[in-house]
C-alpha cells in the first residue's frame, strides 16, 4: 500500500514509508510520487543514451567522483548517481522520483539523499528557489539562517528548538513567491546534527539517535519530547547569513548587508546550483533579486565558543524586533 507524506507544501506518495517523514492520510491526488527500490525497465533502457550534465569535483576513497548527473531522453529525465551506488531518476517536472541502492546500504541512508539534494533538485525543477538554510518560526513569521555546510545552520535551529520555537526546515529551505510576500515552506520534522554539535547542546556526542545505522550523524526528532515542527508555511521575515566565527567579545554580532552583497550571498547559498541549466539560473536570479527587495538580509557573526549560542538566539530575536518596528504599518 502507498504511504503519503507532506513535504515542501506538497503531498508525496511513496511505495513505502520514508524515514524522517510522518505518514499522513491522503488529502488529494499526489503532487509527487517516489518509487523506492526499483526503476522501470523502460526507464533503465533510456540510460544507454544518457548525456553528462555534472560530475562532482569531490572524490571518494577509491577516486570515484562522489556524484554524477546525466540527462536522459533529451532532458525529459535526470539521473543522479552517487558513488555508493545509490541511483535516482527524476522527471523534468519534478513530479516523479525513482531510486535504487546497493545491498550494503539502508533505506535510512537513501533517505539522506532523497530528503536533501534529490527533492531539493525536484523543487528547483518545479520552479521554486531553495536556499541552504534552516528556518525557525518566530510568532507568525519565519526567519532563515543561511550558510554553507558547517556554518552552524542546524546547530542554531536546534538552539531555537530548545527554547520552544517551532522549526520549518533544516538545510533545505524552499521558498514560494506570493503576491503578498515570500512563503517559507515546511520540510520535514528533523534537525540533523554532527556529534560535536550534539555534545555542545545535549552534553554528549551520542545523546541523540543516529540518522542511519552506517553514519555517525545524529538527529533531533521534532515530533517528540516537547519539540515542535511548523507544519504550515509562514511568511519569511528576515534572512540571517552566518559569517565566520570570531573570538571577539562583542560577538555574536548582526549587521545589514548592501543590496549587491546580499544578492551575491544568496546566489552563493542556493541549493543544488551546479545542476541548473541556463534558463533555470536566469529564473533564479530574477527570484533572488525580487527576494532581497522584499526581505531583509543580515550578516550574523557567531562567537567561536558554542556557549554563546543562547546569546546568538537573543541577538537574532532583538534584531527581528527592530526590523518589525520599522516595517510599514507597524
Three-state SS string across the chain, please? CCEEEEECCEEEEECCCCCCCCCECCCCCCCEEEEECECCHHHHHHHHHCEEEEECCCECCCCCECEEEEEECCCCEEEEEECCCCEEEEECCCCEEEEECCCCCCHHHHHHHHHHHHHHHHHHHCCCEEEEEEEEEECCEEEEEECCCCCCHHHHHHHHHHCCCCEEECCEEEEEEECCEEEEECCCCEEEECHHHHHHHHCCCCCCCEEECCEEEEEEECCCCCCCECCCCEEEEEEEEECCCECCCCCCEEEECCHHHHHHHHHHCECCHHHCCHHHHHHHHHHHHHHHCCCCEEEEECECCHHHHHHHHHHHHHHHHHHHHCCCCC
Give the span between the Cα atoms of 161 and 220, in whole angstroms. 9
pTM of the full predicted structure?
0.93
The structural domains of the chain, with segments of one domain joined by +, span: 3-125, 129-325
For residue 329, the model assigns a pLDDT of 52
Q: What is the pLDDT along the chain (330 residues), one digit of tens a residue?
A: 899 999 999 999 999 999 999 999 987 889 999 999 999 988 888 888 899 999 999 898 888 999 999 999 988 999 999 999 999 999 999 999 999 999 999 999 999 999 999 999 999 999 999 999 999 999 999 999 998 888 899 999 999 999 999 999 998 999 999 888 899 999 999 999 999 999 999 999 999 999 999 899 999 999 999 999 999 999 999 999 999 999 998 899 999 999 999 999 999 999 988 898 889 999 999 999 999 999 999 999 999 998 999 999 999 999 999 998 876 554
Phi then psi dihedrals of residue 179, to 5 deg:
-60, -35
Q: Specify whether domain 129-325 bears CATH 3.30.420.
A: no
For residue 173, the model assigns a pLDDT of 96
Amino acid at each position: 500500500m502507498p504511504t503519503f507524506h507532506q513535504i515542501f507544501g506538497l503531498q508525496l506518495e511513496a511505495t513505502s514509508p520514508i524515514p524522517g517523514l510522518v505518514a499522513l492520510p491522503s488529502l488529494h491526488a499526489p503532487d509527487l510520487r517516489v518509487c523506492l527500490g526499483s526503476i522501470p525497465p523502460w526507464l533503465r533502457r533510456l540510460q544507454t543514451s544518457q548525456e553528462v550534465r555534472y560530475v562532482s569535483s569531490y572524490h571518494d576513497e577509491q577516486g570515484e567522483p562522489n556524484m554524477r548527473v546525466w540527462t536522459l531522453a533529451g532532458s525529459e529525465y535526470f539521473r543522479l548517481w552517487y558513488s555508493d551506488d545509490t541511483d535516482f531518476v527524476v522527471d523534468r517536472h519534478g513530479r516523479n522520483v525513482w531510486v535504487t541502492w546497493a545491498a550494503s546500504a539502508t533505506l535510512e541512508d537513501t533517505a539522506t539523499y532523497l530528503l536533501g539534494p534529490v527533492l531539493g533538485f525536484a523543487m528547483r525543477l518545479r520552479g521554486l528557489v531553495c536556499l541552504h538554510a534552516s528556518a525557525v518560526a518566530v510568532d507568525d513569521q519565519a526567519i532563515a539562517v543561511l550558510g554553507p555546510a558547517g556554518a552552524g545552520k542546524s546547530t542554531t535551529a536546534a538552539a531555537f528548538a530548545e527554547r520552544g520555537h517551532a522549526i520549518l526546515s533544516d538545510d533545505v529551505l524552499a521558498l514560494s513567491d506570493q503576491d503578498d510576500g515570500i512563503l517559507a515552506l515546511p520540510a520535514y520534522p528533523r534537525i540533523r546534527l554532527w556529534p560535536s554539535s550534539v555534545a555542545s547542546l545535549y552534553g554528549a556526542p551520542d545523546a541523540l539517535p543516529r540518522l542511519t545505522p552506517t553514519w555517525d550523524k545524529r538527529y533531533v526528532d521534532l515530533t517528540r519530547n516537547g519539540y515542535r515542527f511548523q507544519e504550515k508555511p509562514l511568511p519569511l521575515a528576515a534572512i540571517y547569513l552566518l559569517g565566520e566565527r570570531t573570538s571577539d567579545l562583542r560577538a555574536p554580532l548582526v549587521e545589514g548587508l548592501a543590496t549587491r552583497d546580499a544578492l551575491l550571498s544568496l546566489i552563493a547559498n542556493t541549493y543544488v546550483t551546479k545542476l541548473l541549466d541556463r534558463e533555470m539560473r536566469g529564473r533564479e536570479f530574477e527570484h533572488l533579486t525580487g527576494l532581497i527587495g522584499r526581505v531583509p538580509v543580515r550578516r550574523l557573526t557567531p562567537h567561536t565558543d558554542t556557549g554563546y549560542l543562547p546569546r546568538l538566539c537573543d541577538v537574532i530575536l532583538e534584531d527581528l524586533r527592530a526590523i518589525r518596528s520599522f516595517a510599514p504599518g507597524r
